[in-house]
Amino acid sequence: MNILSLFTMKGMAVLSTIFVMVVGLVLLALIILFVIDVTQRKDAVRHNFPVIGRFRGLFIHLGEFFRQYFFAMDREEMPFNRAERRWVTQSAAGIDNTVAFGSTRNLTAPGMPIFVNAPFALLDEETSEAAPILFGPYSKTPYETSAIIGISAMSFGALSRPAIRALSRGAKLAGIYLNTGEGGLSPHHLEGDCDIIFQIGTAKYGVRNEDGSLDENKLRAITERPQIKMLELKLSQGAKPGKGGILPGVKVTNEISKIRGIPAGKSSISPNRHPEISNNNELLDFINHLQELSGKPVGFKMVISDCGWLEELCELILARDEQFAPDFITVDGGDGGTGAAPMPLMDNVGLTVREALPAVVDVLTRYGLRPRIRVIASGKLITPAEVAYAYCAGADMVNGARGFMFALGCIQALKCNRNTCPTGITTHKTRLQSGLDPLDKAVKIKNYVGKIRYGTGLIAHSCGVREPRALQRNHCRIALGNGRSQPLHQIYPPALPERQKVNS
């Protein structure tokens, strides 16, 4: 027997020993798991099918991944399908996002908007950029913008530091505004020197006293900053109408604790409504107080389900004077949002923006307040077609949130509330944030806004109008699901002014 053979035999013996040990350890582990499963009584599947039953939870966990990448068709996923996400990410990357060989969308599905092209489309030289709009004509410092989309409310806390930095820089590059969300104003919002809407939620984060009431001195200090253009009072949001904001304790870092004025490491649950506001009179009083304190336009954000209260609000405004009206109303769709929320509220409370928006516009029109109060549409409006629908329905402005998250690199992992976001957008774990470069993502935000502006303009020009804000309800039809469609202006006939302020 030579030396090579000896080493080979010893090596085989070692490998055999290691194999036996590994098999033994595996068997031992299986026996331990078997005993644990058959003796526990909390999970019937694991008790009745020990060890094997454990795979059920694993497969449920992995189901989201496999459906997204292998099984779901381009138009099947919710809340946003692969085709929508691809359009946003390609737009943000600045690459070609045209499609070939026909639409993959079901063009006869109920609710599908179909835009009415004019027989003679406008030439390029006959078109124009979107007309500017003015917010707060009675304010000391009104706000004017020609943007057709803005970044909707997403708080620092719900979103990470690099995500907010990227949004701020991207908003500046794109010439649009950034809404702070209810989490207060951070240095990261200010970094890009963009226009900012400061949102005041029910917990008054960033402008609160210890008892949760409004700290007027803190508010003045914030609104004196030139970047702050408007204030938005959040009454409710699409993800959870009637429920305050939810920030899990794992996401309340020391920095966020300082900005919001809350204890670090503890979950922060905002009140279900503003304690100071329980009726329309108090709502107007509070808005007027904010207008006087800030000298800037002030509006409110709300999910709409019924317009009776809005009609009462209009009556009160007319009784006082239109200068005491809110400067804008943000109509948020009741079909979810970026934050953590109870499923019953996310799934079943509040109208979608498609139904709520024209209803709000019509109420304001009937009371003669439409020119005074601007209407901002918010809720799942991430593509040019959805933005164009909002303008057809009567919006002055459109806000988007999740479209901008996709532009930042969101992959719809559905982990926004777990502090484990794999793209670093909604997590405060430094390791996961390290792949999100604010400078690079800011350019993607700019690119995405450019594509929204271009695509919405294409629809407007095809309909025979110069720019998106010129779109009307007669420029859109809604698919009924039976192969036919109905004009939007027949489903929601445009209202005519009926009630006007009579000066005595």
Q: What is the DSSP string of 174-188?
A: HT-EEE--TT---HH
Tokens of 302: 């709300």
Helix (H, G, I), strand (E, B) or coil at 92: helix
- Distance (Å, rounded) from C-alpha 366 to C-alpha 137? 20
- 405 vs 340, which has greater pLDDT? 405
pLDDT score at 188: 95
- Distance (Å, rounded) from C-alpha 285 to C-alpha 136? 16
pLDDT at 462 over 70: yes
- 296 vs 503, which has greater pLDDT? 296
Neighbours of 81 (CB within 10 A): 18
Looking at 246-250, 254-258, 264-268, 490-494, which range is the least confident one? Answer: 246-250
* HEC string for 14-58: HHHHHHHHHHHHHHHHHHHHHHHHHHCCCCHHHHHCCCCCHHHHH
Highest mean pLDDT of the ranges 202-211, 265-274, 365-374, 427-436:
365-374
pLDDT score at 503: 42
Give the bridge partners for 468, in sequence order.
none
Q: Residue 375: enclosing H or E segment and its boundaries?
A: strand 374-378
pLDDT confidence of 393, banded at 50, 70, 90? very high
- 465 vs 414, which has greater pLDDT? 465
* HEC string for 216-258: HHHHHHHHCCCCEEEEEEECCCCCCCCCCCEECHHHCCHHHHH
**In sequence order, which ranges of 323-394 are alpha helices (DSSP H)?**
343-348, 353-366, 384-393
Q: Dihedral angle at the C-alpha atoms of 278, 279, 283, 286, nearest 10 degrees?
A: -50
Q: Residue 486: enclosing H or E segment and its boundaries?
A: strand 485-487
- 443 vs 413, which has greater pLDDT? 443
Helix (H, G, I), strand (E, B) or coil at 341: coil
pLDDT at 489 over 70: yes
pLDDT confidence of 78, banded at 50, 70, 90? low
- 80 vs 313, which has greater pLDDT? 313
pLDDT confidence of 38, banded at 50, 70, 90? confident
- 304 vs 344, which has greater pLDDT? 304
How long a stretch of residues is the chain? 504
pLDDT confidence of 252, banded at 50, 70, 90? confident
pLDDT at 126 over 60: yes
pTM for the model stands at 0.86
pLDDT score at 150: 97
Average of pLDDT values for 307-336?
92
pLDDT score at 98: 77
pLDDT confidence of 69, banded at 50, 70, 90? low
Each residue of 339-354: pLDDT tens digit?
Answer: 666 767 666 777 889 9
Average pLDDT, the chain: 87
Average of pLDDT values for 429-442?
89
Contacts of 480 by beta carbon, 8 Å cutoff, 6+ apart: 110, 486
